[in-house]
């Protein structure tokens, strides 16, 4: 698919996702990650698993979530549970499967 507008691409990306496995990336990756977490946080879409791969890579951002956003009341403690951090692709897939096992729903992969 080819999209003229990036926001339409993001809508389609989130609408048909059953989980995000987020690898280290740049601004586009961060944009898509934040979009998904914002939509889940504000109950605009149903919750799905978000897995960040690479503890070391994501540590600075996650520290900022806790030390700036949480401390200043911009997010809640519960919002820190919107994602999981792992170091391997196998752990990422296992987390997504466990999420759907918990809710007795089958993933489509």
Of 92, 78, 76, the C-alpha closest to 18 is 92
Q: What is the pLDDT of residue 38?
A: 96
- Torsion 6-11-12-14 (CA) sign: positive
49-107: pLDDT as tens digits:
999 999 999 999 999 999 999 999 999 999 999 999 999 999 999 999 999 988 765 55
Q: With left for phi above 0 and alpha for psi between -120 and 50, is residue 104 left, alpha or beta?
A: left
Q: What is the pLDDT of residue 104?
A: 63
pTM over 0.95, yes/no = no
Q: What is the largest CA-CA distance in the chain?
A: 41
Q: Is the pLDDT of residue 39 over 60?
A: yes
Q: What is the pLDDT of residue 60?
A: 98
């Amino acid at each position: 698919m080819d999209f003229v507008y990036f926001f339409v691409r993001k809508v389609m990306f989130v609408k048909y996702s059953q989980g995000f496995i987020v690898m280290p990336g740049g601004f586009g990756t961060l944009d898509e990650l934040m979009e998904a977490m914002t939509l889940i946080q504000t109950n605009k879409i149903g919750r799905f698993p978000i897995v960040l791969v690479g503890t070391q890579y994501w540590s600075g951002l996650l520290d900022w979530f806790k030390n700036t956003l949480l401390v200043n009341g911009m997010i809640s403690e519960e919002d820190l549970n919107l994602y999981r951090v792992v170091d391997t692709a196998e752990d990422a897939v296992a987390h997504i499967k466990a999420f759907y096992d918990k809710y007795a729903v089958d993933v489509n992969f």
